[in-house]
Amino acid sequence: MTKLKLGPIEDDKPVKVTLELTAALHRDLVAYAAILGRGTGQTMSEPVRLILPMPERFIATDRGFGKARRASLSRVTGE
């Protein structure tokens, strides 16, 4: 099985957002959704549902961002 950064996508209440994707990015999202679906056993009917979990996962796993954020918060709170 291919190891992807994303796991199963939670079925949260959707929020309507309008944005334009390049055709290449849309094709990549479709391909990613298909691979993710095979790996998790989920059917991904809307590949655009990946748009939110991808930056969430990226931010959650970016060590540099986490360190900078903690440092910034400690300066603000004085801890």
pLDDT at 10 over 90: no
Query: Domain for residue 66, yes or no?
Result: yes
Give the global pTM: 0.64
Q: What tens digit of pLDDT does each residue of 61-79 get?
A: 988 888 888 888 888 777 6
Query: Domain for residue 13, yes or no?
Result: no
Look at the chain and report how many structural domains it folds into: 1
Rg over alpha carbons for the chain, rounded to the nearest Å, is 16
Query: Domain for residue 49, yes or no?
Result: yes
Query: Domain for residue 53, yes or no?
Result: yes
The residue segments making up the domain with residue 44 are 23-77
Query: Domain for residue 63, yes or no?
Result: yes
- Tell me if 2 sits within 8 A of 35, measured CB to CB: yes
Query: Domain for residue 17, yes or no?
Result: no
Query: Domain for residue 32, yes or no?
Result: yes
